[in-house]
Amino acid sequence: MNMESSEETLRKLSLEAEQCRRCPLWTTRRRVVFGEGPVNSVAMMIGEAPGREEDLTGRPFVGKSGRLLTEMMESAGISRSEVYITSLLKCRPPNNRNPMASEIKMCAYFLDEQLRVINPSIILPLGKFASENMFLKFGLSLMPISRAHGKPFEISRGKVIIPLYHPAVVAYNPNMRGVLEKDLLFVSKIIKDKKAGL
Ligand code: URA
């Protein structure tokens, strides 16, 4: 598939998401938050679900957690613009409640397509929900994020999942900042290695 047709596929998919009524979240959403970033990204971050500011703007990770994430990525040497960023759910759950299993299942159509088209070498699920979901999708045994974070799990030749803590954890508990910083530094190195063809 060439770059143009991948971009076109993603564009059509995002238009489809904007019309989506697969689960009841369409009744309370303001904007669909499909995701953003280059179609040829080496790394893809997958959060949980849009929050208030994402729902208002239609962009992923632009609220408090998102600003913290962006700041921490940049200081680890990862440019936000080089990573594709999305979430398990494309619509905000009311009052930021946890995503329901049925919503994750119905929304997986979009994430599966994003993963297929972008085909990232490095999948970065943020937090427990996204990590468990990616582990199940790729047939890995589940393990708590407290054990899995910052470690590369190979899912096929040259392709890894590296679970990370969700930045909301750091926003609530500043003591966790150092842990996420260290993991992002590791991710930064892996991204650079992949780009250098190592
Ligand atoms: N948290 C997420 O998991 N995704 C967003 O887009 C924003 C906050």
**Cα separation, 129 vs 133, whole angstroms:** 6
Q: Do strands 122-125 and 159-161 pair parallel, antiparallel, or not at all (unpaired)?
A: parallel
Q: Can you list the domains of the chain with their CATH numbers? A: 3-195 (3.40.470.10)
Q: Does the pLDDT of residue 115 top 90, yes or no?
A: yes
The pLDDT of residue 198: 83
Q: What is the pLDDT of residues 118-176, one digit of tens each?
A: 999 999 999 999 999 999 999 999 999 999 999 999 999 999 999 999 999 999 999 99
Q: Mean pLDDT over all residues of the chain?
A: 96
66 lines ligand 1 (CB under 6 A): yes
User: Under 8 Å CB-to-CB from 5, ≥6 apart: which residues?
Assistant: none
Q: What is the pLDDT of residues 161-173, one digit of tens each?
A: 999 999 999 999 9
pTM: 0.96
**Cα separation, 19 vs 133, whole angstroms:** 24
Query: Which residue reads 């780009």 in tokens?
Result: 195
Calculate how far, in angstroms, residue 197's C-alpha sits from the geometric centre of ligand 1: 30
54 lines ligand 1 (CB under 6 A): yes
The pLDDT of residue 155: 97
Buried b (16+ CB within 10 A) or exposed e, 32-64: bbbbbbebebbbbbbbbbbbebbbeebbbbbbe
163 lines ligand 1 (CB under 6 A): no
